[in-house]
Every structure is written in C-alpha cells, then in structure tokens.
Structure 1
Amino acid sequence: MTEILLPPGDEFLREETIRGGMDLLFFSNTRHLRHADDTLAELGLGRAHHRIMYFVARQPGINVTALLAILGITKQSFGRVAKQLIAKGLMEQHTGERDRRQRLLKLTPEGAKLEKAIFDDLHDNVVRAYRAAGSEAVTGLWIVLQHLMGEEARVQFRTVQRL
C-alpha cells in the first residue's frame, strides 16, 4: 500500500496545504466514482443521471421542486436528464394526488436495482476508507465538508439527513 501523506500540522492554512486538500478532493472524487461512471456509461448515462437516481432512491415520491433544491440545478437541466431516465424505464413521474401541479418521482424496479448496485459499490469504498481513517478523522471530514458546501447546501444536507 502506498504511504498515506499527512498535512503539515500547524501549517494547514499554507497555500500548498490548501492546494493539497483540493487535489485530494479531486482525486478521491474521480477515483471513488470511476466504477459508477463506467456502469452508467454502459447504459448511456452519466453522473447527472446518477445524482437524480440517488436522491429519488433516498426519498421515493419526492417532488421535482424539492429535488431541484437539493441538487441545486435548473428545471431545464433536470428535465433533460429526467426525460432520459424515464425513457430508459429507470424512473417514473406521477402527478400529486392532493396537488395536481406536483410532479412526484420514484425509481422503477429496474432503476432501483441499478441505483442499489452503484450504491453498494460506493458504500464498500467509503466503509473501507472510514475504517482505515477512524472515527475522529471521519468526524473531521464531515465538519470540513459541511464548511466547504456553504449554508444553503448545509440546509439541504440537513433535510436529506432527516429522511
């Protein structure tokens, strides 16, 4: 196993340490999602499709407005990606029973199966990393990431965590 590099203790605000942290975010994100990207690409899908499927799986029946707020995307961007998911039989859209203006989303059984397979692979990678780092490091990671996302996203994060 390659040596784990640690930041220089008291010098964590130096430019090179900040750049190193940004490098870590880039490399960990791209490598963590590589298998998911490959699986999605085989179906002609990408990360935007996965993000929608992930949050619809977290909250079946979520309305489009709530999902747009979580993802921080426009209705136009969502519409293009959702249309593809529906056409491929991975997601369904229904009109709300109480409010007919609402569009409610849920994954089809095939969509749920795909999302679960991708999640299981990502889950195993996160478990491996969490175990290697330990509880204190995981707590620190959660704190750093919440400060990186800004207040608006923290509100969405807290909403998702209540699901």
Structure 2
Amino acid sequence: MDFEMPTRTWTRDNYLISTDPSIIPLDALNDIFASDDFHWGLPLPIEHLRTLVHKSICFALYEVTNVSAGDEHSNESQQRRKLIGFARWITDMVTVNYLTDVYILPEYRSKHLGAWMMECIDEVFTAMPHVRGMILIADRGSPTEALYRKYLAMVDLESPGFLMDRKGRGAVSQ
C-alpha cells in the first residue's frame, strides 16, 4: 500500500502555503536555490528538481495577487502566485520527517511568514498518528534556531545521541 499525504493549503491575507507539488514553479525554486544566502545548496537540473519536489512533502509559500483575465469589461479574475518561500520534508510519510531547505526571500522576512510556515508544518506533524520524530540541521545561534525551538518545539539531540554528516558531490564546499 502506497500512502500519499493529502494536499493541504493555508491562506493568510495575500499569502498562500500549499503542499501541492504540481503548482511549484521549478524555475522560481531554482532561483531560490541559486541565491547567495541559500548557502547549503545549489540549483539543480530541472528533472532532478522535479524529482526532489515530487518525492518530498513541500510547503511552498506564495504571495498571491489577483489579475484581470481578459479585457476591461470582464469580471473574471485569476490569481497569480509568486513563490517567496519554501520548506520540505524528506520523509517515509509515517514515522520520521527530516525538515530541510527552509527559506524565505529576504524582502519577505520580518512579516511573520516564517512563524506561520512553522505553524503549518507543526499542524501536519502533530496530525501524523505514528510519527516518531522530526529532525533538522540548523546553525547554532541563528534566528532559524530560535524559530524552530519556538514554533516546532525542537530541542537538542539527547545524549548519547550525536549527529553525523558526510558531504556528497552536490554539497556546497565551505
């Protein structure tokens, strides 16, 4: 049996968070991965990026604007979504979630969108009946560490546990 996490959406003012991978604009996501302060990764070939999106649970944050659809006499409008933030779980969808690639464009920070994204992630996490835990890697003392501690109730790994790492060919060299 293959379990699929149901698609979720949340809205606030003119913002949207969605777990629907089919609406994520891959070019815009690669622009995020290419930004200077996305220091832990690099852009990917589009086919690999598509695999990343469809094999993860993604929380994509959009700014939504209404635009007219057609001529000036039309009452129809459609929404335009601009990708402004992103986070994803690498997960088996049952027992463990690894939170990674959390990012919000600099001009949208300080609008409490990161806290809202963490609340949405926490809502999905707490609804998982068999989940054993969520893990993540953050820079100690960073603003994101405080965000994860406050909104996701993340704590330091208990002793005698420790974190191990091996960089692959796609890692950004330090």
**TM-score, scaled to structure 1:** 0.27
- Higher percent of residues as strand: 2
Higher relative CO (Cα under 8 Å, sequence separation at least 6) belongs to 1
**TM-score, normalisation: structure 2:** 0.26
Which is helix-richer, 1 or 2? 1
Q: Which has the larger radius of gyration?
A: 1
